[in-house]
Structure 1
Amino acid sequence: HLPVTFQRHGNVLHGQCYDRSGDPEIRVTAMLELGSPLEMIQLLQTPWEERFKICLSLVKLLFYLAHSPLGSIVLLDFQPRQFVMVDGNLKVTDMDDASTEELSCKEDNDCTLVFPTKSFPLKCSAVGKCEGINEKKNLFNAYRYFFTYLLPHSAPPALRPFLSDILNATGDLRYGINETLQAFEKVLHLYKSGLYLRSVQYVTIPFSLRGFRTVEGEDYKCWPSYSHLGCLLSVHGAEEAAAICNSQSQCQSFIVTQQRTWTGELEQM
């Protein structure tokens, strides 16, 4: 088992052991945080901002694994089923399948990282270990199980070139985890600050902020949305909301609320 200092990381599922020594059948009971299993199909129906948050949480976890006090840690059974959502945060559940062992080698030919669809040649270090193999294995698994599905779909158009760079660089393992985290933080900064909107040309649109229905008694619905009852999106301001509404033929009017998402974006109805 991994030390408590590692298990307290924010993206590792917390738990405690309860000693039931009075019961001859059950000596120890594990009590864990209540989390919801990851359902990729459901995640694809959530707003892009929430899917980006999941990927960012995963990158932060992999950054910690690569630089942990124990050395570089690899998740041996890296599958979406090994993660859960707890209060909107991604957490890994089973650390029994984590290892600090790195592949030993005598020459570079001993250090090929093999996946079902790709293989990557790595270097054999002077100490006889394949350089960065644990970090790169985690990162490529994140790319093929998470980034590929969650990052590009319905992303803001101005951010798509940055997301494509992340996908290409992690898919080819040109980025390590340090560069990947920097790229994610750059996208987050552009999104939170609204700088990504500077490259977007808006047209003046004669909308008033007076409602969210197409016709009386009928809610306007869009996808993906924060609410299945209507069209609830996150925007940086009224100008972006107007542009989104103008791009969808069913939308006749909208309201910009004072509710904010985890990035500080306003919510539009």
Structure 2
Amino acid sequence: MHGVIRAAIAAAVVLAAAPAPAQVADLVSDDVLRVCADPANSPMSARDGSGFENRIAEHLGQVMGKPLEYTWFPMVTGFARNTLFAGKCDVVIGYAQGDELVLNTNHYYTSTHVLVVRTDGPLAEVESLSDPALQGKRVGVVVGSPPATHIARRGLMAAAKPYNLMVDRRVENPAGDMLADVEAGVTDAALLWGPVGGPLVQEHADLKAIPLLKEEGSPKLYYRITMGVRQGEDVWKRELNSLIRREQGALDKILRDAGVPLVDDYGKGLKEGG
């Protein structure tokens, strides 16, 4: 569903499915930018090209002078094995930093989880999950996601409404369901990964996404997002790192235009420039 979930999904993939480093040197295409992506993971990626990761891929392709070619597969267990490791594509545009399954590029943005509430509701000014205003409220949360631990610690889990973590977005849409429930009053708020919640609330004038920048304790709610390539493809990684460095301003604009909350590298404040 989001960058954090991708890390969890990737961890479940069998490591032996990856080609050995000696075998991957010639897999990267010289003629086409081959991207591995979920066809129904809006607002990040979509088959119709409307996702912000699609726009990032398009921009990189233009800068590199290469046409785009996608390999589509749902972001579920087996994603990396059936796309990147199968040699069908060469880069995953959004991958959480630190996952050892893939080789991570330098991170190109950092984001955090958000609390989605009604703009005219009693929770509109809440900035932290420790705010007393949340006591007794029903909060939508993705099972197994980092915010679930935080709301359990604060005594909010008993009234929480759970939503599924690993889903095939072609048949299930937890994020959309969570927003619909807040609008309908089924829940009072929803906890979402910022690159999902931020863009989606732009389609709902009565909702707002509040970046969670004040949470203490583990697990952390912010994550640095990289691009993922196959282990051993250091030359390709360095090429992407150079692109990220040169095009950082353009990437930031794409992300901000999409509604992604960009934060500093330590998740303590909003990134300057937006």
**TM-score, reference length from structure 2:** 0.25
Structure (1 or 2) with the larger CA radius of gyration:
1
Q: Which gives a bigger RCO, structure 1 or 2 (Cα 8 Å, sep 6+)?
A: 2
Higher percent of residues as helix: 1
